[in-house]
């Protein structure tokens, strides 16, 4: 009578299988991570697209005039703060943005309101402000629902609380749609660290645009490497496009690179332009 013997895996065979699984995991996990990041980038681009439609709808209902970036309401309360452009256009997207921006909260516990929150906001570097927050950690003093920042060259910003006198560079009306000559080449909204709601678009610490203070450049420079070394930009004509951040350092987890020349990005129409934030930065 013959005996049946059960043949099992040898130790060598098991080790080979484990090694193959480890190799496959090492290959596939980065691919999965890239796919997740791409999904977040696409979600962010969709947010900006909806924001662009909302801004245009707002303008159409208001004599073709863009909203103010922020303003002091008649019943101003320091506890709630200024009224922002996000609140003004929010009825067109139903994102739940409050009238007082101070009620949004900051850091990891801050509100994350629908299209106003970029899913990669937590990766926005906080070391640029040197407040001690480790890289890759939610900015402690920033607001998630301020993930996007308006071009203050076209959206006026009244930032002074009465009876203080507003900065003359801010105290001007927002632009009308008819005044925007190259809408496909001019930024309307960019990604932001979340500390402000408007930006002049100058990324140097010594020569802020329109005479504003040096803190201006920190608001969007810290967010422009948010998605795989770049970020999404919404242009005045409504299209959204991803652009790579300048410089060799394109990691959102370390301090961003500043332009030493003052040039944010170049465009074909103005090869020596100061960026996309003004239609003709070389003009007056």
Residue 35 has pLDDT above 60, yes or no: yes
pLDDT per residue as tens digits for the range 145-174 = 999 999 888 898 876 666 666 655 556 678
Q: 165-173, long-range: CB within 8 Å, 24+ apart, which pairs?
A: 167/211, 167/212, 169/210, 169/211, 169/212, 170/212, 173/65
Q: Report the C-alpha gap between 84 and 152 in whole angstroms.
A: 12
Average pLDDT, the chain: 76
**What's 58's DSSP letter?**
H
Are 278 and 218 spatial neighbours (Cβ–Cβ below 8 Å)?
A: no
Closest by CA position to 90, among listed 156, 151, 145: 145
DSSP state for residue 215 in the 8-state scheme: G
Cβ-contact 97, 87 below 8 angstroms: yes
- Residue 205 maps to a domain: yes
Domain membership flag for residue 4: no
Q: Which residue has the higher pLDDT, 128 or 73?
A: 73
Could you tell me if residue 3 is inside a domain?
no
Q: Cβ contacts of residue 74 below 8 Å, gap of 6+? A: none
**pLDDT in the model for residue 66:** 95
pLDDT value for 243: 83
Q: With respect to residue 150, please indicate whether it lies within any of the assigned structural domains.
A: yes
- Residue 158, in any domain of the structure: yes
The DSSP result for 97-153, as a single string, is --SSGGGG--GGGS---GGGS-TTGGGS--GGGTSSPPTTSPPTTS-GGG-EEEETT
Please give the residue range of the domain that contains residue 42. 13-244
Q: Tally the domains of the chain.
A: 1
Across 227-256, average pLDDT: 77
Q: What is the largest CA-CA distance in the chain?
A: 107
At 232, the pLDDT band (50, 70, 90 cuts) reads very high
């Amino acid at each position: 009578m013959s005996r049946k013997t059960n043949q099992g895996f040898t130790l060598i065979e098991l080790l080979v299988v484990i090694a193959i699984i480890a190799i496959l995991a090492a290959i596939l996990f980065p691919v999965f991570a890239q796919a997740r990041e791409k999904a977040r980038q696409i979600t962010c681009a969709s947010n900006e697209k909806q924001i662009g439609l909302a801004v245009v709808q707002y303008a159409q209902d208001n004599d073709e005039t863009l909203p103010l970036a922020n303003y002091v309401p008649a019943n101003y309360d320091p506890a709630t703060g200024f009224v922002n452009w996000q609140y003004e256009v929010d009825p067109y997207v139903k994102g739940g943005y409050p009238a007082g921006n101070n009620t949004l909260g900051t850091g990891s516990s801050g509100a994350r309101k629908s299209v106003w929150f970029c899913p990669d906001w937590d990766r926005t570097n906080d070391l640029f402000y040197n407040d001690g927050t480790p890289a890759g950690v939610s900015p402690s003093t920033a607001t998630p629902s301020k993930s996007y920042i308006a071009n203050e060259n076209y959206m006026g910003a009244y930032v002074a609380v009465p009876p203080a006198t507003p900065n003359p560079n801010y105290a001007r009306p927002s632009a009308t749609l008819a005044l925007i000559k190259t809408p496909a080449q001019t930024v309307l909204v960019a990604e932001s660290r979340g500390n402000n709601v408007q930006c002049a678009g100058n990324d140097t610490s010594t020569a802020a645009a329109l005479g504003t203070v040096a803190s201006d450049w920190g608001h969007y420079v810290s967010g422009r490497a948010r998605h795989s070394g770049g970020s999404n930009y919404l242009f005045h004509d409504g299209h959204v496009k991803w652009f790579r951040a300048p410089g060799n350092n394109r990691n959102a987890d370390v301090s961003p690179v500043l332009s030493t020349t003052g040039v944010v990005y170049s465009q074909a129409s103005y090869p020596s332009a100061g960026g996309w934030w003004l239609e003709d930065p070389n003009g007056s």
